[in-house]
Structure 1
Amino acid sequence: MTGLDAFRDPASIAVVGASGTPTKWGYWLARGALTGSARRTVHLVNARGGTVLGQETAPSLRELPDAPELVAFAVPGRALGAAVDEALARGARGLLAITAGVDDEPGLAARVRRAGARLIGPNCLGIYDASAQLDLVWGRFEPGSLAIVSQSGQLGLELAGLAADAGLGISRFVSVGSQADVTAHEVLTDLADHDATRVVALYLESFGDGHALIAALTALRRAGKPVLLLTVGASDAGRQAARSHTGAMTTATDIVDAACETAGAVRAETPARLIAAAQLLVRAPRPTGRRVVVVTDSGGQGALAVDLVSRAGLLVEPLPHTTRTAIATGLPPQAATANPVDLAGGGEQDLGTYGRVVDLVAASGGADAVLMSGYFGSYGHDIPAQQERETEVALELARSAVRYGLPVLVHSMARSTTTTEALRAAGVPTYTDIETAVGALGTAARLAERGPVEGVEPAEPGATGGVPAPTPAEARTPRSADPRPPDPPAGPPAAPPVPFGYLSARDLLAGAGIAFPPALPVTDLNELRCAAARLTAPYVLKADWLEHKSEHGGVAVGLGDATALEAAYMAMSLRLGPGRYVVEQLDRRPHVVEMVVATRRDPSFGPVVVVGAGGTETELWRDSVLALAPCTHENAMGLIARLRCAPLLAGWRGRPPVDTGALADTVVRLSRLATARPDLLEIELNPVRVATDGLLAVDALISLTGVTPAAVTCAGDIPTR
């Protein structure tokens, strides 16, 4: 198969279905194609012949004097297949199908690939490349440095419209539509060496080969082109919640966020927030940390800004004393100089105060970003005599940002004035509400923390393949909601005949290096008495086959001697029926913190590992974090540190710290096991009891896919802490 060269800067284009009627797709494709006619040959094809937009049309591709490199189709769905075949017969290398409602899209894509060509679409909104004068899309774009790749054509247009409102132009726009052939990750990879693109906006509804997507995002990260991702629904995992505690604790967007963290991208929550962050990333130096200094001419606006900055996880730290002294010079006595800096009317007395104070803050070494909030931007509009001076100060703000290499953002009460336009033109991101400005700073700070790929410097402002996606979870080991042992399945099992009750799960996990208390299986009173003699009281009794034992009365804890154990067994077996039970030694270590460690297999991104607050209230606290598997010990320690319950592990109110390193080791081992075993859909250890001298897992849940298991070679040696 060829690459995507035909979609970058084709030597010739043919528009099939060209029209002179502005309400038709054929008009917009023809109009756009003709804007590049000085750069390439443009053919218009219309079955009726005649003239379209002043150019003679051909009745079919067969009538063209030469083979077009790229063909764009604006034809009904029923006619697309024949039109594509005709284009392939003429030797076209790139095909762009706007058409929706196409039968047998996979078959159409297969014919295209067999011919050595590539297809974008069907059901897409077109492509645009400013530097190549390639315009095959509905609407009109202004050239710029923001690339948009969108699975939804209309949402892509919304992003482009919001960008235009913010004064941002488009470098490349690709609506991938159905992705019958060309995928979003291929388009993203192709942007890595696209000189005009500085920032990429990406909208996806489904992720397909998640590994290939991560490779594409990583390639863009290497090229110094940050990616802002917008999504909904995220993955099948989010729409089909698992039956484990883990499934209730995590969402599909958690998995997407983990993938973004791996690749160095950031997910935005709305189109408006994405474009707000893009404005900062396109125009300004990128922050290198989280310290924000707020400069304002209003005490109320300054206080609100500081609250929002803190809530966004950014830092509000006092400025150095020497800087505060310098700022105070020339300001009214009631001015505040720590952080926020309140000019207290000083800006009205002398507009140059804004520039002077921002420059002092930027030079102080105490800020990674400066956020100015208030009236600035309105002076020239309200008092025309002040317009020239306000514009001069706007340029001073831009020079401070460049001089000290940090972003200066302006939240202005003015909607659109000569000054706000001057700010944006000079490279100062400007916003009409403070919340949007702070959100943009938070997004940029997260990107900065993810940094460039190790050993690769980011590009100055101005083809990777994918690993096959993990096999989808097509079948799971049947489970019964009835708290009794399930009947044997009829006929041969679809999955390997591994009865993943608690003891079987223990055996598999112990082989991967997970520690459990001593335990023995029992099926009758004689075995129970033998187990009591071999183990040390107090005991725990469990029904081996139950998923959530406490919810069905399938666990008895703290049985102090053999008599208590026997009584518990008689009561439990009478209620739940015969089956395999487990006698286990009770973990009596002091100062224990209960945690959950688990894995899930996502259809797009493969196995993810989860760590969080555990026990019977796991879903209640919903305190968990996750990462793509496998992970390193350092990654695992970073995940644990992000938990709200992390202070409990570090020693809370005089309690000794527990062995967090052992917890991290368990996260690593479980992540490696999930990576090596595609037959494991879910693994859950809940709770794992972490004490000062290590960790013990006291319950385990495993569910299967229909995939044949590989040998367990994943545990390996965990690096010495």
Structure 2
Amino acid sequence: MSLPQAFVDPSSIAVVGATEDRAKWGYWLATGALAGADRRRVWLVNRRAAQVLGQSCRPTVGDLPGTPDLVVVCVPPEHVLPVVRDGLDNGCRAFLAITAGLGADEAELAALLRRAGARLIGPNSLGLFNAATELRLAWGNFTPGSLAVVSQSGQLGSEIAGLGARAGLGVSRFYSVGNQLDVGAADVLESLVTDERTTTVALYLESFADGARIITALEALRRAGKHALVLTTGASDASRRLARSHTGSMTSALDVVDAACRAAGALRVATPRELVETARVLDATAPPGGRRVAIISDSGGQGGIAADLAADRGLRAPVFTDRLQAGLRALLPAAAAVSNPVDLAGAGEADLQVYAQVVELVAASGEVDSIVLSGYLGCYGEDSPSLVDAESAVIDRLGHGHRTGAAGVPLIVHSMSAASPAVARLREHRVPVFDTVDAALGALGHVTRLGGQPRSAPATARTEAAATTTKRTDAAVPAPVRTDAAVPAPGYWAARTFLTALGVAMPEARRVTDAAGFAEACASLRPPLVLKAGWIEHKSEHRAVRTGLSPDSAAAVFREMYERLGPGEYVVEEQDTRPGVVELLIGARRDRDFGPTVTVGHGGVHAELWRDVSMELAPVDRRTAAGMLDRLRSRRLLDGWRGQPPVDVEALIDAIVAVSEAIAATTGVADIEVNPIRVGPAGALAVDALVVPRTAEVVPKAACETTGADGRRKSTEEQEISREHVH
């Protein structure tokens, strides 16, 4: 459902709980509503006061002379339901509930609204603000601007707005969605797509229950030319979701949010200050077209620190060409460093115009995507009044180049002054200026990440019904095909069958249940061999797998394992002995909020130790799968390490895409894990796999009970899937 116009530009408002007490919410809501009285009708409601703020009051909504377009509810919790009933009886269909602590009444309130076809923001909302329509229904004051704030936490949203105001960045709209009993963040985000004043959206959420719709809204904002910055919680171990696969235990809630942001072309930041600093840059300039940054400083020390920070934030300071270095030498003293970073070596003090000359030369070179100017500029006139005019002239020159988009290269300034007239002048020119270099490089790093295009697969391709199969081609987006993937039965043999049907290569193998069948299988396979107890999930942990078996040793090993683990479905495989292989894992799981996801990482028995993984929403295309590999710390192993040959990365990408499509196509599957998949110069071979059906909420303890040689039933694995993971 879309956001009703009553929450954007209501024709009339009733504030229930209006008061003259400045320490109460009712005062701020009443004064805010009255500030827009020239645009709409405003009624104040108070049971015990005949007048508030010079305006006559009515005791109830039912006593009003008309039907309010929007009712603002700011009363004690026990009075909320009666106020809403009164409003509904009077024909009102939009409510803003500030009140918190409704408890069990929330369910009744939701049912009441649903029956009436009414909408509500809150409860536990800090309010809303719309600069374009003079709608101010919140605690505090807002500075108009271009940043829209949508926050589940009212106070945190207010902090973002306050930080923005102090940084010269105002608010276009503010929505505190509170408990999201009815109207949620997705409703508000959708309404911002066509809002002309909004250029950047700040989103804070603690839960993403409507994840797929939120992604779609963020994608729509991106297509409309607006940027979205996301703030959330979930970095701690306590926020990790449980899963049966190794892959699930190695990812966190933030991994999924980051994947969703990449899919939608949004960006997650860590703090409100980071968000505002990034929004300041976006308010002034377009994101750079790449990661190449020029660092220009009047101090070698500051330039070095800036270079280190740039690298830490994913930026690259390339060595300038001989031609550009020669041009810089013509402007600077012989002692100046000109390769990047550039050290002005006192040239700026001799002639302040050097700052602008160097910036202009580097911007026009085509060798960088952004420029950071760091150091003393901004302090000259503050410390030496005789230099005010000269410094202002330089800043005007820099500002003109910034406004005209000199060579399309954004300029970010770090000044040692926080609030000098020169710094204020830079801001007037809309040049992003920061008083610490880490803030400058942090904001630049974030906006550079936003400069890339969002994933090519649209959100509609990531629904539960999505299913595609991709052969190796140069196409970025796979072509849709049949969507009849079936849920495999439990056990390793069924997982093998499932994966090989997807095109994932696995070793030649046989399924056996007794000694005779085992002997027959061994005779038909090429040694060395691997023996696995197929019904046990994490086999290494339970001595349910043996490798390196010869025809002579295999029979004894099978006998020992059978006596220890009991009857069941065993699998005999040819062991992969190819040289130069790298072990990775591919995992896929179904996230409660965002749906299918796929993960790739460093694999094998030490996978959970290294926790080197990369996640995306599923399905992924080949380009996205390649990008997942590039984010791994272990990526260089694939290109050949210490004399090893490069491996077949294209075959690995095939497998990643296939598994991602399988989890998206097969709604009855909760988890898929291929660990390890051994990638060598001649291809990729999956040598163990797990497919978990999406059936029971909890897998009972002792799920892998077996019979020992003494006939006693004993447990070889006790593991649960959490309700949160399955659902």
Fold similarity call, TM over 0.5: yes
Deviation at 1:220, TM superposition (A): 0.3
**SS of the residue aligned with 1:57?**
strand
- Return closer, same or farther for 1:600/1:236 CA change in 2, 3 Å cut-off: farther
8 A Cα contact 1:469 1:605, kept in partner? no
Matched, 1:659 2:660: no
Deviation at 1:453, TM superposition (A): 7.8
Q: Hey, what does 2:478 align to over in structure 1?
A: none
**SS of the residue aligned with 2:585?**
strand
| 1:539-574 per-position Cα deviation (integer Å, ceiling 9, x unaligned) | 11111122211122111101111x301111122233
8 A Cα contact 2:240 2:249, kept in partner? no
In structure 2, how many angstroms separate the alpha carbons of the residues matched to 1:707 and 1:92? 44
Matched, 1:300 2:301: yes
Deviation at 1:11, TM superposition (A): 1.3
8 A Cα contact 1:502 1:700, kept in partner? yes
**SS of the residue aligned with 2:214?**
helix
Deviation at 1:298, TM superposition (A): 0.8
Q: Hey, what does 2:540 align to over in structure 1?
A: 550
Alignment equivalent of 1:526, drawn from 516, 520, 527: 516
8 A Cα contact 2:463 2:664, kept in partner? no
**SS of the residue aligned with 1:389?**
helix
Deviation at 1:85, TM superposition (A): 1.5
**SS of the residue aligned with 1:645?**
helix
In structure 1, how many angstroms separate the alpha carbons of the residues matched to 2:380 and 2:559? 85
8 A Cα contact 2:17 2:45, kept in partner? yes
| 1:394-444 per-position Cα deviation (integer Å, ceiling 9, x unaligned) | 222121123313221111111222221221121111111111111111111
Deviation at 1:149, TM superposition (A): 0.5
- Return closer, same or farther for 1:440/1:525 CA change in 2, 3 Å cut-off: same
Deviation at 1:446, TM superposition (A): 0.7
Equivalent runs, 1:551-630 vs 2, <5 Å: 551-561=541-551, 563-630=552-619
8 A Cα contact 1:207 1:234, kept in partner? no
Matched, 1:504 2:494: yes
Q: Which amino acid aligns with 1:649?
A: L
| 1:630-664 per-position Cα deviation (integer Å, ceiling 9, x unaligned) | 11223222322332333322333443332222211
In structure 2, how many angstroms separate the alpha carbons of the residues matched to 1:285 and 1:579? 62
8 A Cα contact 1:237 1:602, kept in partner? no
Q: Hey, what does 2:506 align to over in structure 1?
A: 516
Q: Hey, what does 2:70 align to over in structure 1?
A: 70
Q: Hey, what does 2:446 align to over in structure 1?
A: 443
In structure 2, how many angstroms separate the alpha carbons of the residues matched to 1:316 and 1:235? 33
Q: Hey, what does 1:683 align to over in structure 2?
A: 672
Q: Hey, what does 2:311 align to over in structure 1?
A: 310
In structure 1, how many angstroms separate the alpha carbons of the residues matched to 2:363 and 2:513? 73
In structure 2, how many angstroms separate the alpha carbons of the residues matched to 1:441 and 1:544? 51
Q: Hey, what does 1:411 align to over in structure 2?
A: 414
- Return closer, same or farther for 1:695/1:322 CA change in 2, 3 Å cut-off: closer
In structure 1, how many angstroms separate the alpha carbons of the residues matched to 2:46 and 2:161? 30
- Return closer, same or farther for 1:265/1:469 CA change in 2, 3 Å cut-off: same
Q: Which amino acid aligns with 1:415?
A: A
Q: Hey, what does 2:10 align to over in structure 1?
A: 10
Deviation at 1:532, TM superposition (A): 1.5
Alignment equivalent of 1:430, drawn from 429, 433, 449: 433
Q: Hey, what does 1:482 align to over in structure 2?
A: none
- Return closer, same or farther for 1:598/1:22 CA change in 2, 3 Å cut-off: same
Q: Hey, what does 1:32 align to over in structure 2?
A: 32
In structure 1, how many angstroms separate the alpha carbons of the residues matched to 2:137 and 2:523? 80
* Identical aligned residues as a percent: 50
Deviation at 1:308, TM superposition (A): 0.9
8 A Cα contact 1:211 1:469, kept in partner? no
Matched, 1:703 2:706: no
8 A Cα contact 1:209 1:469, kept in partner? no
Q: Hey, what does 1:47 align to over in structure 2?
A: 47
Q: Hey, what does 1:147 align to over in structure 2?
A: 148
In structure 2, how many angstroms separate the alpha carbons of the residues matched to 1:62 and 1:249? 56
May I ask how many residue pairs the two structures share in their alignment?
Answer: 675
In structure 2, how many angstroms separate the alpha carbons of the residues matched to 1:309 and 1:512? 42
- Return closer, same or farther for 1:382/1:138 CA change in 2, 3 Å cut-off: same
Matched, 1:289 2:279: no
Of stretches 626-635 and 681-690 in structure 1, the one that deviates more from structure 2 is: 626-635
Q: Hey, what does 1:192 align to over in structure 2?
A: 193
Q: TM-score, normalised by structure 2?
A: 0.88
- Return closer, same or farther for 1:612/1:524 CA change in 2, 3 Å cut-off: same
Q: Hey, what does 1:479 align to over in structure 2?
A: none
In structure 1, how many angstroms separate the alpha carbons of the residues matched to 2:424 and 2:323? 34
Deviation at 1:165, TM superposition (A): 2.1
8 A Cα contact 1:221 1:453, kept in partner? no
Give the superposed CA RMSD. Answer: 2.5
* Structure 1 gaps, min length 5: 456-463, 471-495, 709-721
Of stretches 74-83 and 582-591 in structure 1, the one that deviates more from structure 2 is: 582-591
- Return closer, same or farther for 1:669/1:331 CA change in 2, 3 Å cut-off: closer
8 A Cα contact 1:678 1:707, kept in partner? no
| 1:334-379 per-position Cα deviation (integer Å, ceiling 9, x unaligned) | 2222211211222222222222222222222222111111111122
Matched, 1:540 2:530: yes
Matched, 1:87 2:87: yes
Q: Which amino acid aligns with 1:679?
A: G
8 A Cα contact 2:457 2:620, kept in partner? no
